[in-house]
Amino acid sequence: MNKPDTKLKDFIHVERGVIPSDICEFIIKDVETRSWEPHFWNNAYGKSIEKVYNRELDIQFFNQKLQELLSPFILECGKLYNRQYSYINAQQIMYTFGNVRFNRYAPGQIMRQHIDHIHDIFDGKVKGVPVLSFILNFNDDYEGADLYFWKDTVVKLGKGDIVMFPSNFLFPHGVTESTKGKRYSGVTWAW
């Protein structure tokens, strides 16, 4: 439970092996049948910002079939996070979440450090404030590409793990350089 003396690191929560191995493997095979595009950054108004690094990861947007496959795992993890971290037990932290975006880190690629104060998931009809970030990890046969917070807090992720943390300025994070193999993950945000 969230208490006045809870440390920021305590709000980074990993559910280990939530997504079954066969589903992880299916997702990797499926996303590799479609084209990838370079990651880009948007400002608060949804405008693309000049690409600062040419080593950014590759991304792939929403896929209905994969969204339906992953949604039960995201919902269950959201419920677990709510039970553990809600300040008032009956208070709901999240009510819904957006489409999963897929990430691929090939050797030499990174994601520069940033915060998840994301706006481009809202189209004018869908409105909200992102409160919880989810990173879904689909494999573990790679080296490097580690998720880190602040400057020195590394969160090692295994196949099928889902990590959750608040989507705000208190949780700057990034991904270190991939050095061997490709890391496949997905991200979504809840509000």
pLDDT tens string 54-68: 789 999 998 999 999
What value does the mean pLDDT take over residues 16-28? 98
What value does the mean pLDDT take over residues 79-86? 90
**pLDDT band of 99, cuts 50, 70, 90:** very high
For the cut 70, the answer to whether the pLDDT of residue 181 exceeds it is yes
What value does the mean pLDDT take over residues 132-160? 97
**pLDDT band of 124, cuts 50, 70, 90:** confident
pLDDT score recorded for residue 21: 98
Q: List, in order of start, the domains of the chain with CATH numbers.
A: 14-41+53-190 (2.60.120.620)
**pLDDT band of 126, cuts 50, 70, 90:** confident
92 within 8 A of 191, measured Cβ to Cβ:
no
For the cut 90, the answer to whether the pLDDT of residue 140 exceeds it is yes
List Cα–Cα distances, 23 to 47, 77, 108, 133, 173, in angstroms. 34, 16, 27, 21, 27
pLDDT score recorded for residue 53: 57
Query: Could you tell me which of 115, 83, 130 has the C-alpha nearest to residue 8?
Result: 115
Task: Give 148-157 contacts, CB < 8 A, sequence gap 24+.
Answer: 148/113, 148/173, 148/174, 148/175, 148/176, 149/9, 149/12, 149/173, 153/9, 153/12, 155/12, 155/14, 157/14, 157/185
For the cut 70, the answer to whether the pLDDT of residue 46 exceeds it is no
For the cut 70, the answer to whether the pLDDT of residue 52 exceeds it is no
**pLDDT band of 48, cuts 50, 70, 90:** low
pLDDT score recorded for residue 45: 54
For the cut 70, the answer to whether the pLDDT of residue 27 exceeds it is yes
Dist. CA 47–CA 44, nearest whole Å: 7
Whole-number percent of the chain with pLDDT over 70: 91
